[in-house]
Structure 1
C-alpha cells in the first residue's frame, strides 16, 4: 500500500477517524494493520481488496454468524512480529510456545477460510505443518524442552534429580558437596537448554518467510471481516473503480450521527466530478459538509473500505487531499490565509504530477472580496490544466465561468422562508431545521442566491440596521 496518507487531524476532520474507530480487529496483526491503513498503490490491488470485501459482505448478509469460527481463531493470534525477527537467534521457551501456537492457529484458520471462502483473491494462508512438528516433539498442547529433545539433557536432569534427593537427606560437609554438584548440573542444564533453543530456532529459519506472509494474510482477513460488518451496519456499499467520479446520495456517517442525536437529518450528496467542480452557496455550513462527505467517501474508496452512498463510481486516485480553514490555522500556526497559500503550493505541485482529488474549502475567503475572487478564479483556471480532479467551495460571485461544473447548496426554499416569517419565535435552530443542504447542478454564470439578508429579516435584525442595507 502507498499513496498520500491523511494525518490524524485530517482523518478526524472528514470523519475517517470515526470510521476507523468502528472497527474492532480480533487479532494482534489486525489491530496493528488498522493503525497503518493507507491508500492502495495500484488499481489492481485496490480492485482485489474490493472484490474480497464484496465476498465478505455477501457472507455476512446471508448469515450474521458467518465469521464466528474465524473470529474465535483470530482472537488467539497475537502480534509476534518481534519473535519472527529473532528466529535464528536465541529465543525463549515462551516465544517458542507462541510460535507453536501461531503455526497451529494458522493451519486452523486456513481450513476455516477454505471452507467458507474458496474464491478469495490474493489471500493465501500457507501451511505451517513442518514448523509445528519441529516444535511439537513432546506432543503436548504447550511447549517445553523435554528429555526427548536431547539425550544429554535427559542425562543431566536424571543426575540432577539424583543429587537433589541426596541433598535433601544430607547434612554438614556432605550437604555442601551435593549442593555444589547440584548447582553445577543446573548450569549444565541451562547451557544445554540454550543450545537446544538455538538449534530449534535455526531449524525454524526456513519458515520465517511463510510465517510473516501468514501474518499479513491474517491482518487482511481480520480487517475484511471488520469492514464488511461496518458496511452492513452503516448502510455502506462497495464502490466501483471506473473512469468517472460519481456519487449518488452520499453521506458522512460521522456527521449523520451528530445530526441524528439532534433530531435532524442528513441530506445526501449527489454529484459527478470532472476537471474542476465548484460548490457555491452562502456561509451556512452546507458547502463544508458536502466537501467533507466527498473527501471521506473518496478516501474510504482508495483505502479499500466501503463507501457511504446509494451508488458510487470513482476513478483510481493517487491521493485525496483536503484543504479547509479549520485545519490550516492549527497545523501551520499562521494566519488562515497564509496557511492556505503555503498548502495550495504543495497541493498544486502534487496535482500536476499525478491524478488525485483536491478538495478546497472557501479558498481566499480570509482576504478582501475583490482580491479573494481574483485569486480563487486564478486557482480554478490553473487546476483545470492538471490531470487531477478538484472540488472547490466558495461564496464569491462570478468566479465559476471557467469551472467544468457548478453545484449550488439548495439552502432555504421560498416555502421555507415563508414558513419562518410566519413563526412568532425564530432562532438559529429553527433556520437549521428548514435548511436543505442538498446539491443541485446549476448554470456556471448564474448569481449565488442571496440568503443572508433574508436570514437577517427572519431573525428580526433591528429595522434601523435593515433600513441601511
Structure 2
C-alpha cells in the first residue's frame, strides 16, 4: 500500500490540490481523508471513477442549479455517525439525538432527489421514509422534533393533567395556596419523564434495524460529496480523462501544476505547460539548474499520483499504467539524528525504494541525485542508476546537470533554456541592476522540454555567467576548458 508523508504531499503539491477539492459535509471530509490508491486488481474501478468524474464535470454547466443546491445541502449536514452507532448498540437516544436523526433524514432524502438529476443510478441511497414518518407522527414536515403526544396515550393524559394544574397554579396568588399544587405538579412531571423515556426507548428500538442502512448512506454521501468536489475542481482547470492500462510509457501532454502556477502568478509570470513521455526503463532531463527541471518532474509526478487516486489530471492528454509504487526524491534527505549526510540519506532512501519494488511497474523520480558528493563519483552514480533501470519494467525519471551523453539506451530530454536568446541585448553594466538580472533570467528562460539525441549542446551556464557580469578574460578561460 502506497503512502506519502505530510512532507512528501506538501513537496509534490498533492496537499495543495487536495485543499482545492472542497467537500461540504463531514462525510465528504472523512472520505477525502481516507482516500487510497487503486491497485492493479482495481484497474476497472479506477477507470470507472475517472469516467464518473469526467461525466459529472461535463454535466455541471447544464445542471448548475442542482449542483449548487446539492452543495448547500451537504454543508447543512452534521456528523451523527456516533449517534447511529449508539442506536446499533441498543442505547436509548436523547431527544436531541432523535432530532439530529430526523434532521439528517430530511436532508438525506432531498440529497437523494437532487443526486438523481446529476448521476442517474450512480451512488443511489436507500430511502428511509418509514423512519421519517416515525419521527414525524403528526406529519408536520417540520425540522423540529418533540416527544409527541401521538407516541403514547398515557403520556397525552399526563401532559393534559399537568397543563390543568399549571393553569390552576397561575390563578392562585399566595405561596401557601400554590404549594400543594406544586407538589402535585412535580409528581406529574416525574411520571411524564418516565413515559418520555419509554417513548425514547421504543423509538431507539425501532430505529435499530435501520442503523446499518443509515451508516451505508452516510458513506455514499461522503463519496458523492467528494465526487462533486472533484468535478467542480476539474471544471476550473484543463483536465482530461486519462488512458489507464498496461502501457509502455507514462505520457503527459501540456501538464499543469496548480501550486507552481499560483506561485508564478504572484510573481507576474505564467506557468509553462510540460509535455513529457517517460518510457519503461530510464529517462533523463538535462539542463541548467535554473531551467525548471524540478517543476517538470513534480508536474509529471503530481499528475501521475492524481490519476492513481481517481482524480482527473491537469493536462490536455495523459496516459499511465497502474503503478505498484511511486517515489519522488527531491528534498534534502539529511537525518541529523542518525548522523547521515545529505548524500547518505539519499542513498538510504533509494535503497529502500529499490528493495520495495516488485513485479508491478513503479515510478521513481530523482531530482539532481548525488549532488551531495564529488562531481566525478556523482556523475558515475547517476549513470549507474540510469544503466541499472535501462532494461527494467519500472519507470526511472532523473533530472541532472551531469554530462551523460556517453550513455546508450536512455530516453533523453533537454530544457531548451537560453539557446534562442541573445543575452547581449539584455546585459546591464550597472552593478545595482545585476541583482534584478538574476530574476530577469527566469523570464528569458524557455522551459520547454525537447527530445535530445545526445549531440553536443552548448550549455547555459557560461551564458548566464556572462550575463551576470563575468569578465571577458575569465569567460575565455572557461571556454578553453570546454573545447
Give the TM-score taking structure 1 as reference length: 0.89
For residues 306-455 of structure 1, the aligned pairs below 5 Å read 306-326=312-332, 335-352=341-358, 354-384=360-390, 387-398=393-404, 401=407, 404-417=410-423, 419-420=425-426, 427-443=437-453, 445-446=454-455, 449-455=458-464
CA contact (8 A) 1:351 1:387 kept: no
Q: How big is the shift at 1:139?
A: 2.2
Q: Distance in 2 between matches of 1:409 and 1:391?
A: 14
| Residue-by-residue CA offset, 1:64-115 (whole Å, 9 max, x unaligned) | 4451232233232222222221113122222211211222222222222223
How many residues are paired up?
464
For residues 101-250 of structure 1, the aligned pairs below 5 Å read 101-120=103-122, 123-140=123-140, 141=142, 142-168=144-170, 169=172, 175-244=178-247, 245-250=250-255
Q: Report the counterpart of residue 13 of structure 2 in structure 1.
A: 15
Measured at CA, do residues 449 and 15 of structure 1 come closer, stay the same or move farther in structure 2, by a change above 3 Å? farther
Measured at CA, do residues 278 and 233 of structure 1 come closer, stay the same or move farther in structure 2, by a change above 3 Å? same
For residues 239-318 of structure 1, the aligned pairs below 5 Å read 239-244=242-247, 245-275=250-280, 276-318=282-324
| Residue-by-residue CA offset, 1:12-70 (whole Å, 9 max, x unaligned) | 22222222222332223223333343323421221121111111111124454451232
CA contact (8 A) 1:297 1:308 kept: yes
CA contact (8 A) 1:325 1:336 kept: no
CA contact (8 A) 2:291 2:445 kept: no
- Pairwise CA RMSD: 2.9
CA contact (8 A) 1:12 1:18 kept: yes
> Which stretches in structure 2 are left out of the alignment for 5+ residues?
479-483
Q: How big is the shift at 1:332?
A: 8.7
CA contact (8 A) 1:28 1:79 kept: yes
Q: Distance in 2 between matches of 1:81 and 1:449?
A: 64
Measured at CA, do residues 46 and 446 of structure 1 come closer, stay the same or move farther in structure 2, by a change above 3 Å? same
Q: Distance in 2 between matches of 1:384 and 1:80?
A: 54
> Which stretches in structure 1 are left out of the alignment for 5+ residues?
none
CA contact (8 A) 1:110 1:125 kept: yes
Measured at CA, do residues 270 and 188 of structure 1 come closer, stay the same or move farther in structure 2, by a change above 3 Å? same
| Residue-by-residue CA offset, 1:303-337 (whole Å, 9 max, x unaligned) | 12121111111112243321112576699995322
Q: Report the counterpart of residue 70 of structure 1 in structure 2.
A: 70
Q: Does 1:94 align with 2:96?
A: yes
Q: Distance in 1 between matches of 2:68 and 2:103?
A: 20
Q: Distance in 1 between matches of 2:127 and 2:352?
A: 47
Q: Report the counterpart of residue 481 of structure 2 in structure 1.
A: none
CA contact (8 A) 1:250 1:269 kept: yes
Q: How big is the shift at 1:156?
A: 2.9
CA contact (8 A) 2:239 2:315 kept: yes
Q: How big is the shift at 1:179?
A: 3.2
